[in-house]
Amino acid sequence: MTNQTWSPSKACADFVADLQYADIPAAVIDTMKRDTLDWIGCAVGGAADRSSQPIKAVADVLGGNSQATSIDCGRRNVVLAAMSNAYFGHILEMDDVDRDSISHPATPNLAAAFAAAEFAGKQGKDVLLAAVCGFEIMLRIGAAITPAHYKIFHTTATTGVFGAAMAAGKLLDLDAIQLNWALGNAGTMSAGLWQFLPDGGMSKFLHTGAAAGNGILVAMLAKNGFSGATHILEGKQGFFAGYARQEVCYDLFKDFGEKWRAGLISFKPYPCCRHTHSAIDAALDIRRQAAGRGLKTIRLLTYTTANTVAGTRSPATGRQAKFSLAYCVASTLLRGVPTETSFSDQSVNEADVKALEHRIEVVEDTEINACVPRNWPCRIEAVTADGQELHAQIWNPTGDPENTLSWDGVALKFQTMTDGIIPANVQDEIIELCKHFDVLDKPSLIFEKINTSFTRKY
């Protein structure tokens, strides 16, 4: 950074302050609309799951002003509404992914944007603008310190609070100085560790919930004159100094308005960790090639991050199985396309899938590692019972920008995730509202429609 007047922190705040809806390419807006529908489906499905109960119980106790709508909870104070909806959106492991930052931007950013928009009386177009602001900031901060940061920290949590603060700040009409304060205090609130994985803990839901809620909190504080660090990213005692475990790529903060990271997200077709998805696609290919013949050997070649995060062996619960490459491949080979049912505790512990899972060799491959994070590939090598060698190579799993889900694909996913929770006519209404989200006067209408017909699955 040779120019002393420029800094990543100031660049982020200035970009958010200056961005107008008309500046955003139409293709990026279309992706954001699809991602909005996708995230709503994730949040509805999560809110119907038993894992949603703890945050609902706490929200009931805390109460607060009726300011923004929470799925299956009615209206809460704006921070609690954002926190609850973001918590719900991460439960089923179906929310979007950004490869460069290895994070899930929709859940913290859209949860914060919906709540802040309802609080501030904003429209659908405002939510889309704010969400793009949040995505662009969150994803650049994450990409600047990936992949080393991700080995210890859940990037969605640590960088999601920055995005949520910028999304909320845009909706609260903060100026560049106030946005810089909000960014600074978001950095102070940044947290999220992977240590819950060995225990199968629920912390991941809290990561997104806290990011969204704290993002709104720091934006509201800035609106009321609460100052913060103006060099939170690059300062000697700032975010990069404390959280980066590699050389920081500052160039990522110099192409605002040229490269739109919000338009490059991946959609998740399967309800498990994204690092398992190329393996699942490869397993589906091997299943097709095997055509019912048994497999004598199965060798899965993957990248180090996938094996670190999703390397669980012999999972005992559905939550653990969502982070198990071996289980996901075994289940797919036996049953086909994985669904939420594939991750019930009963399904995970069935004898046939356990037996096959134990026979799968997982190997970290140098060639595949060299592709990450630009691609998250996988290769499966198998030999059938009659001796035929089978191979399946996946470079871009289903849902990546190069292999994206169309409106029809996202709508089908939304319907699948919300079946039995909201009726078909409400599903259809929400799909249409998201397609025309830019002309929607009242974004909270979507949550109101959901809550009038919501059925829990527990």
339 neighbors 271 (Cβ within 8 angstroms): yes
Give phi and psi for 387, each to the nearest 5: 95, 5
The two tokens of residue 424 are 């078909």
In this predicted structure, what is the pLDDT of residue 2? 43
User: All domains of the chain, ordered by start, with CATH?
Assistant: 8-263 (1.10.4100.10), 274-394 (3.30.1330.120)
Q: What pTM did the predictor assign?
A: 0.93
Q: What is the pLDDT of residues 9-36, one digit of tens each?
A: 999 999 999 999 999 999 999 999 999 9
CB crowding 105-115: b at 16 or more within 10 Å, else e? bbbbbbbbbbb
Peptide bond into 373 cis (omega under 30): yes
In this predicted structure, what is the pLDDT of residue 5? 85
Question: What distance in Å separates the CA atoms of residue 380 and residue 356, rounded to the nearest whole number?
Answer: 14
With 0-12 CB in 10 A as exposed, 13-18 as middle and 19+ as buried, what is 361?
Answer: exposed
Residue 1 has pLDDT above 90, yes or no: no
For the residues 114-139, what does the mean pLDDT come to? 99
For the residues 53-61, what does the mean pLDDT come to? 96
Residue 90 has pLDDT above 50, yes or no: yes
- Write down the mean pLDDT value for the chain: 97
Q: What is the pLDDT of residues 377-406, one digit of tens each?
A: 999 999 999 999 999 999 999 999 999 999
With 0-12 CB in 10 A as exposed, 13-18 as middle and 19+ as buried, what is 197?
Answer: buried
Q: What share of the chain is helix, strand, coil (3-state, %, to 5)?
A: 60, 10, 35
In this predicted structure, what is the pLDDT of residue 426? 98
Q: At 4, is the pLDDT very low, low, confident or very high (cuts 50, 70, 90)?
A: low
